[in-house]
Structure 1
Amino acid sequence: MRPLLPLLRTLGVAAVAAAALHTAHAELPPGLAGGNLKIVVGYAAGGAADTVARLYAEQLKDAGFGSVLVDNKPGASARLAWDVVKKSKPDGLTVYLAPSPLLTILPLTYKTPGYDAEKDLAPVALLVEIPTAVVTGASQPYSSMKQYVEWARQNPKKASLGLATIGSSGHLGAFALGKAQGFEVTPVAYRGASPMLVDVVGGELSMGWDAAASMMPLYKGGKIKFLGLSGDKRLPALPDVPTAKEQGFPEFVAATSWYAVYAPAATPPAALAALERSFLAAAARPELARSLEAAGLVAHAEGRAELAQRAQRERKSWEPIVKAAGIVVDE
């Protein structure tokens, strides 16, 4: 016969676990509790967006859903995934991990974006900020933004920037940099970051721009050099890499991106509120913040109202810059 005290302790632990599980399920309204949540990502597996989605999916496993899956739908600068979620059943079980340019810049740069940033989807929660970086191949003769600017002035026809998305914040940052420093940067569009980085490594491009987290493996492998980070402070995962602002080039400060969760516009308010609670609760876990930081990302969560206001505010701030650059994407 088992001793009584250990048995009571075992039963006590089981009771606490059962109560926690019951509470998690109770926080979800009917239709969400026990349902299979799908997080749609507009990029292929392995990138920053996919990393964020999978880290959050792991933290949401005990939130009361039956399962939490990540569904990669790359294509059309992440607009394909947007369309998939827009047309999904508005039951709260399909959400989109949206990159900020779809909400802030692409509506201004695309002649016919093919979606309505205000009406198609409903905001749920902002999950993480994505510092971006300007990089170059390891064999290039420059290793900092200052050295690159000096090189570009001497080689004006060779200054090029590889991009996964024309009209992105990196594109606008490069435009502003060239205008301020007296040279022109030629944007080169790619169907994704991976083929762009192949040409950066091979020296076909003078520099490339993407999420710092996506490029860290190449950096650690000695294939690329970080010329400068976006934002106004260094990343804990890259303490030796200065920001572009530190080097005297503030044009890339606003090029930091973010990812947020959105649901189909007709999703019931109760489901949106439950999703908001679930994602914000996951965001508050210290282990998630540590995992994001290790990946070169910055944990930063905001609720539905704050997210909607931020998207509108940033779109308004980018508008005069887009007009000055004269960028119109026609596709």
Structure 2
Amino acid sequence: MKLIVGFPPGGALDTLARSLAEHLRMSTGDNVIVENRPGAATRVAIDSVKRAPADGRTVLLGSSAPFVLFPLTYRQLDYDIDRDFVPVAHLVDVPTVISTASSSPYQTIEQYQAWVREQPGRGSVGLTNLGGALHFSILALGKATGIPLTPVPYKGGGPLVTDLVGGHVPLATDALASQLGLHKAGKVRILAVSGTERNRALPEVPTLKERGIDAFAYANAWYGAFVPIGTPPKTVAALEKALMAAVQQPQVQAQLQRAGLNPTGLDGASAARKLREEREFWRPIVQASGFKSED
């Protein structure tokens, strides 16, 4: 069995894939390998799985974004989630946060809002890419609060953190995994977490939804498993069962939580429903922005 990942080795999705592969080898006796196929914002990996035999031996481990936001931002795609793939399982949530430098004058998101209203033109928010959920969450946050916010893309989490700590950008949003250590070390201050529930790693930090703002309720990415359309239902059901069981194993959960991931282990029907719900949530926000991806 091949688990296809659209990112280079070492990232959060690669960590998930290798944790699952190790458990599946032990539980099934099969030879399970992780194949990293980065490129074109994971579309290289998606295309390779789309063209693979529909026998359950080639599984895409992918982010929700290419199936939720890409159909809304790309003028043309070579795949369709409903036509080309079967969602097998929702495996983990990828929490995101809003942060600032520890030296910033604001301690809460409300204080930030007051500060930026007094600082015209200082509503820049750093992030690592345009066209993703965090980009549109920033736009939605600006609309909800009546504060013009400008997403500022960086080429990776390292440069983003450097500018954030140095005070060159007043606010940033990124994955919890890239910010948690800095928060604990006192270099950045996490003001809010995304989603609808507080994060177990930061129980003292509120969600924006608690503050009456829905803009980041769907900002969490998630990783799931997908196979080509036409895969026999019995094969899909067996994969679903095996993957859901894998992410419930204590050793796998520990590995994932260390990587800043929240294991979920939901079935394929739940994954498909989430994709539809999120696409409908983002559709009017993306359309209002006028943004189109060009790569």
TM class by smaller structure: 0.7 to 0.9
SS in 2 for 1:58: helix
* Contact 1:237–1:295, Cα closer than 8 Å, also in 2: no
The 8 Å contact of residues 107 and 117 in structure 1, kept in 2 or not, is answered as no
* Residue 178 (structure 1) aligns with: 142
Q: 1:91 to 1:327 in 2, by over 3 A?
A: same
Structure 1 residues 214 and 274, CA, compared in 2 at 3 Å: closer, same or farther?
Answer: farther
Aligned twin of 1:260: 224
Secondary structure, in 3 states, of the residue corresponding to 1:237?
Answer: coil
Structure 2 SS opposite 1:282: helix
Aligned partner of residue 34 in structure 2, secondary structure: strand
Opposite residue 298 of structure 1, the aligned amino acid is N
Question: Residue 118 of structure 1: SS of its match in structure 2?
Answer: helix
The residue number in structure 2 matching 1:199 is 163
1:36-185 to structure 2, matched below 5 A, reads 37-185=1-149
List structure 1 runs of 4+ shifted beyond 4 angstroms.
none
Give the distance between the partners of 1:115 and 1:152, measured in 2 at CA: 41
**AA at the equivalent of 2:267:** G
- 2:41 alignment partner AA: S
Provide the aligned length of Structure 1 versus Structure 2: 295
Partner residue, 1:283: 247
| Counterpart for residue 313 of structure 1 | 277
Q: Secondary structure at the match of 2:126?
A: strand
* 1:67 partner SS: coil
Quick check: 2:218–2:278 contact (8 Å CA) kept in 1?
Answer: no
SS at 1:250 equivalent: coil
Unaligned runs of 5+ in 2: none
Structure scoring higher RCO (CA < 8 A, sep ≥ 6) equals: 2
Q: Which residue type is aligned with residue 211 of structure 1? A: A
Alignment check: 8 A CA contact 2:62 2:224 kept? yes
Opposite residue 193 of structure 2, the aligned amino acid is L
Which residue of 2 is the match for residue 21 of structure 1? Answer: none
The separation in 1 between residues aligned to 2:122 and 2:62, in whole angstroms, is: 33
Q: Hey, what's the Cα distance between the residues in 2 that align with 1:259 and 1:75?
A: 17
CA shift, 1:279, in A, is: 0.4
Deviation at 1:265, TM superposition (A): 3.0
Structure with max Cα Rg: 1
CA shift in 2, pair 1:153/1:277, >3 Å: same
Pick closer, same or farther for the CA change 1:93–1:216 going to 2, 3 Å.
Answer: farther
Identity %: 42
Distance between the aligned counterparts of 2:203 and 2:289, measured in 1?
33
Preserved contact between residue 129 and residue 153 of structure 2 (Cα < 8 Å):
yes
For 1:231, give the aligned amino acid.
G
In 2, distance between residues paired with 1:115 and 1:164?
A: 25
Check the 8 A contact 2:125/2:170 in 1, yes or no.
yes
Paired residue for 2:237? 273
2: distance between equivalents of 1:70 and 1:93? 12
Letter in 2 for 1:323: Q
1:222 aligns with 2:222: no
User: Aligned to 1:142, what secondary structure does the other structure show?
Assistant: coil
